[in-house]
Amino acid sequence: MGGKNKQRTKGNVRPSSSGRTAELLAKEQGTVPGFVGFGTSSSDLGYVPAIQGAEEIDSLIDADFRMVLRKLSKKDVITKLKAMQEFGVMCKERETEIVKGVLPYWPRIYCKISLDHDRRVREATQQAFEQLILKVRKHLAPHLKSIMGYWLIAQCDIYSPAASAAQEAFEKAFPPSKQSEALVFCKDEILNVLQDNLLKETPDTLSDPQAVPEEEREAKFHRIITCSLLSLKKLLCMMPSTEIKSLEERLKTLFSQNKFWKYGKHNIAQIRSAFFEMVSTFCKHIPESMNAEASRVCPAVLLSIDDSDAVVCLALWEAALHVLTTVEDCWNHVNAKKGVLPKLWTVLQEGGRGLATVIYPNILPLISKVPHNVADPKLDFLTTFFTSIVKGLFTERAMVCRSESSAIISAFMECLQFTVLQNIGEEEEQVKIQEMLVNVQLIPLINTVIKEPKLQNGPLFYEVADMLNVWKTKAEITNDDRTSLTFQRMLSNFWDGLSNICVEHVAVMDADEKSLAAVSSLLQILQNPENKMRRNRKKPVNIRFAEDRKAEINTEHENFIDMRTSNESSNIIHEIHGKHTCLPQIEPLEDLVCKLAELSIVYTSQQTSDQHLKFLSALLSNFASSKVFQVLVEERDYIQYENPSIQFLYEKLIDWLKEDWRKETDFLVDILYSILHCCSNTIERENILNDLTKMDLKWNILLQIIQKACSNSEKHSLSSTWLKGDVLGEKLVSLANDLCNISLKMTIASAESFHSEQWTLLSLVLSQLIKNESLIGEVYVKRIIDKLQAALSKAKDLSEAGNTEPSVSFICDIASSFFTSVKGCLMMPSSEDLLFTIFQLCAQSQDVTRLSDFLVNKLKHTWLCGITSLVHQLSILHKESSFLQKSAFWVKNQLQTSVLDVKSLQVLISVVNDLLTTLLEAEDVSACVLKDYIEWLTPSQTEWEKMRESLSSEWLRKPLLEGRLSINCELPGTDHKFCIPAKLPSHLCTAALLSRMALLILEKEVVFENPELERRKIDNI
């Protein structure tokens, strides 16, 4: 075999016979051929360059590149991946001339490996190709035609990173202005590759059946078919309009093949999706060809309308709308009544099979293109159509998904309005259709939604309100009697039908509370649609295709079609949704409200129905008027009040408010505000609220009245005079006094259960601010704080009885909320007194105060809230605080006169430490505040001497025994009787506290205005 030349080895400089053949071919053809792989078909592009040929060939490629290219022909994925990554690095790092030597070999390698089964290899191939492009630049041009078809396929790879890498390489190779020119230059070669893939290739021709498993071969084939279809779409989108005609001629061969049109029925969803995307592109760019192929394209698309695969759905419906718009006689090429419509009814009845958000925005454009002969008889067609939509709405999947049900409802309402516009007139069929739309479709749908809680918060009520405004506008047209009469009749039918179903829900003894709430919500939306729709309605769904979403970043999609503007019906819908004023349907709506209110008061009075009373409250909250209240009051010969709302208050509402058994009163307070809304002036409102305040109503009602005033600016304006008035103020002061006195004498359990609402009420009126002003009069705020402070002062005296915990706990809650919420609250003397009292309780040990651990922790929390608020106010207002001086003098007095043990001293130092830490951490508090506080705490020279004199002589024992001290005279206070004192010396306590303060100041590195003076003061301490 090897003969005298022996067997060839790696690096052998003598070429084999095939190498010599390659040399001869290179000389004859001017190119460098290579070894082909396992097959000889055009699709089998395995290639490794001939190695070690003649000297001129050897000089074309670097040895390292030669080795890497050899590795790329291996079957092992990891080997190919690493080799391709290495190839990219070499292209980046080597000299241009060396890299150029690879170019003759690259096309065959690229065309083979860019289709590799492994997605990582495909991605690495495109990344390496980019590095090659950046290095060789224009020298790639002679090889473009052999590469471009596969390069375009790579840009449509279903693995996004690989597609992005190929796209990026393409953009690096050609600026935007030259990209279409490059495709025009290579269009014939591109079409050859794509047509071969779509018409000739099979899994066995694309992969070696003996080396590649069947599953892998099939997957690769399906991927290449998908990418080829998408590449055809991309090619059309990027081609200049001047070249479309020549491309169209080449595509006729493709269109003539049945195999091509069967891709719309392929069992692989990605292939079907790519096919429909391509059809949409054909309709946009070559509509003449699509009309010529109508007999193929129309069945391929329209008869697939029931495809339920999520991958296919969007592209399918896009293609369907394009075909309907592009192919003029498309319905002649399909059996609509036996083929298309039954499939459409099935899709609608099944709620879009989980794809409602994709399908239903396309229903109106589709229906608008159904011709009269297909929709005949019209009434039956429309009845089936709308019934199918409603049936789909109540499928399980649509019910549980808000977006699905919203899409179905929106499509229903759009189609209904379009159908009305198409059937304006007085002819018998037109009138029947109008009545069917309202009485058979819309009203029953509203009734069902009212019963179904899952749909009550959907868009139907808002859509209905919008529609009624349009109808009302059309009904008032004076120059078109036909249109005006049509919409007047439809409005009349609507209000009659709505009245019937509302009465049906209300005139029941055991009425469903959720259904009543839905009726109330519907009426509220109909009354004020503009505000409600702004706040709650979803943004309208625009029917656009996928390309439109990328239009700003990809020029291939610049000629998208918006189906809403592509037909006459959509233009009409756009017109009626244009500029019209959202006017409430005042007269029929108010009549309906009066009827329902009258029914509610009957059931409330005669049957004591709580749900009807709540429904009445909801009605009055939105429809408070003299007309409505008039139907609620009893007819009498003598009328005490001219205003029916006030008469209703004293006849009905006050009795309901006084019912002790009633746990829920929130909705009764809403009725009260509805009455206040109907009052003619402020004095009338204040008198009503004052009367209620003087009555013996539950405190919870007063609390709810004030809470609602705080939560709603309109309600606050109705009650602001009363809130600032004397009647409420005195009532609250009296409440504070009673709570502070009575709760101290009650057991813990009874106090907590009985008074929690009253304490909440006090906390609310103290801590709530409206426009930076206190909710009630400031004079009453101060008086209430005084009551709380006085109660805390008594806590120590009463602690031994064990009754202080509830009151102290509630006072702490109120105080902490007050300190935190009300800016500048500690500028009030009463507030400072309260904080000072809390400070005193915190600064004394539990042995003295007799307070529980729970109360001590709560007091400390309140104290920290207060001091934080105080420091914040000092930094903003720059005003002196009497609290700091009072607390400093009190601490100083405690140190010098009180009996303190170790535990008491620790508690005192801890509280002062918290105070000083808060002052030091506040950036805006001036140093003079700290200086003053230290001065107030520091004893005078006389006080120091007095404390020193009172010291025991115990401290003399050790220095005397050690001989370090001798006494020559009698020292004051030295009785030479050594004993252990029962208390800590005041000198020691003072020194300990001031030392702790000095250490804290040094740790914080505080800089005072006069450093030397402050340093001496600290040294003296």
With beta carbons less than 8 A apart as the criterion, state whether 978 and 954 touch.
yes
pLDDT of residue 90: 93
pLDDT of residue 882: 78
pLDDT of residue 17: 45
pLDDT of residue 638: 59
| Residue indicated by tokens 């070669």 | 189
Q: What is the DSSP letter of 200?
A: I
Q: 354: which 2 tokens?
A: 């989980």
Single-letter code of the amino acid located at 357: T
Q: DSSP per residue over 561-617, as a string?
A: --GGGSSHHHHHHHHHTSS------HHHHHHHHHHHHHHHHHHHHHH--HHHHHHHH
With beta carbons less than 8 A apart as the criterion, state whether 930 and 919 touch.
yes
pLDDT tops 70 at residue 803: no
d(CA 88, CA 190): 25
C-alpha angle 186-187-191 in degrees, rounded to nearest 5:
120
pLDDT tops 80 at residue 1005: no
- Buried (b) or exposed (e) across 794-803, using 16+ Cβ within 10 A? ebbebbeeeb
What stretch of H or E contains 108? helix 106-113
35 in helix, strand or coil?
Answer: strand
pLDDT tops 60 at residue 237: yes
pLDDT of residue 847: 78
Stretch 279-304: mean pLDDT, rounded? 94
For 385-437, how does the pLDDT look when each residue is reduced to its tens digit (9 = 90+)? Answer: 999 999 999 999 999 999 999 999 999 999 999 999 999 999 999 999 999 99
d(CA 655, CA 662): 11
More confident position, 384 or 533: 384
d(CA 369, CA 405): 25
CA 85 remoteness from chain centre: 42
For 541-552, how does the pLDDT look when each residue is reduced to its tens digit (9 = 90+)? Answer: 444 433 333 333
Least confident of 55-64, 102-111, 559-568, 1000-1009: 559-568
Q: Report the percent of the chain where pLDDT is more than 90.
A: 50
pLDDT tops 70 at residue 810: yes
| Residue indicated by tokens 């495809």 | 307
Name, in order, each residue with C-beta under 8 angstroms of 131's C-beta and a sequence gap of 6 or more: 88, 89, 91, 92
349 in helix, strand or coil?
Answer: helix
Q: 483: which 2 tokens?
A: 């249109």
Q: Which stretches of 210-303 are DSSP H helices?
A: 214-238, 241-255, 258-261, 269-285, 287-292, 294-302
Confidence of residue 53 (pLDDT cuts 50, 70, 90): very low
d(CA 259, CA 196): 12
**Between the CA of residue 616 and those of 494, 607, 825, 980, what are the distances in Å?**
23, 14, 42, 80
With beta carbons less than 8 A apart as the criterion, state whether 25 and 45 touch.
no
Report the candidate in 72, 12, 14, 81 with the shortest Cα–Cα distance to residue 45.
Answer: 72
With beta carbons less than 8 A apart as the criterion, state whether 783 and 831 touch.
no
User: Cβ-count burial of 554 within 10 angstroms (0-12 exposed, 13-18 middle, 19+ buried)?
Assistant: middle
Least confident of 19-33, 438-452, 722-736, 949-963: 19-33
pLDDT tops 80 at residue 568: no
Q: 301: which 2 tokens?
A: 């698309």
Report the candidate in 270, 183, 269, 186 with the shortest Cα–Cα distance to residue 228.
Answer: 270
Q: 999: which 2 tokens?
A: 């250490």
pLDDT tops 50 at residue 740: yes
48 in helix, strand or coil?
Answer: strand
pLDDT of residue 869: 80
With beta carbons less than 8 A apart as the criterion, state whether 340 and 302 touch.
yes
Single-letter code of the amino acid located at 470: V
With beta carbons less than 8 A apart as the criterion, state whether 114 and 122 touch.
yes
pLDDT of residue 935: 84
Least confident of 11-15, 60-64, 339-343, 792-796: 11-15
With beta carbons less than 8 A apart as the criterion, state whether 556 and 351 touch.
no
pLDDT tops 50 at residue 63: yes
pLDDT of residue 108: 92
What stretch of H or E contains 68? helix 63-71
Q: How far apart are the first and last CA of the chain?
A: 109
Strands 769-770 vs 47-49: parallel, antiparallel or unpaired: unpaired
Q: Report the percent of the chain where pLDDT is more than 70.
A: 79
For 874-902, how does the pLDDT look when each residue is reduced to its tens digit (9 = 90+)? Answer: 665 445 667 888 888 888 888 888 778 88
pLDDT of residue 868: 80
For 829-881, how does the pLDDT look when each residue is reduced to its tens digit (9 = 90+)? Answer: 778 888 888 888 888 887 777 777 888 888 888 888 888 887 777 665 445 66
Confidence of residue 982 (pLDDT cuts 50, 70, 90): low
Sign of CA dihedral 391, 394, 396, 400: positive
Report the candidate in 559, 580, 571, 548 with the shortest Cα–Cα distance to residue 364.
Answer: 571
pLDDT of residue 192: 94
Give the CA count within 13 Å in the CB-facing half-sphere of 211. 11
With beta carbons less than 8 A apart as the criterion, state whether 925 and 874 touch.
yes
pLDDT of residue 1013: 57
d(CA 692, CA 688): 6
d(CA 762, CA 731): 11
Report the candidate in 875, 791, 777 with the shortest Cα–Cα distance to residue 834.
Answer: 791
Calculate the average pLDDT of the chain.
82
Q: DSSP per residue over 754-791, as a string?
A: HHHHHHHHHHHHHH-EETTEESS-HHHHHHHHHHHHHH
d(CA 278, CA 286): 11
| Residue indicated by tokens 């080396």 | 211
For 334-364, how does the pLDDT look when each residue is reduced to its tens digit (9 = 90+)? Answer: 999 999 999 999 999 999 999 999 999 999 9
For 570-585, how does the pLDDT look when each residue is reduced to its tens digit (9 = 90+)? Answer: 454 454 454 444 444 5
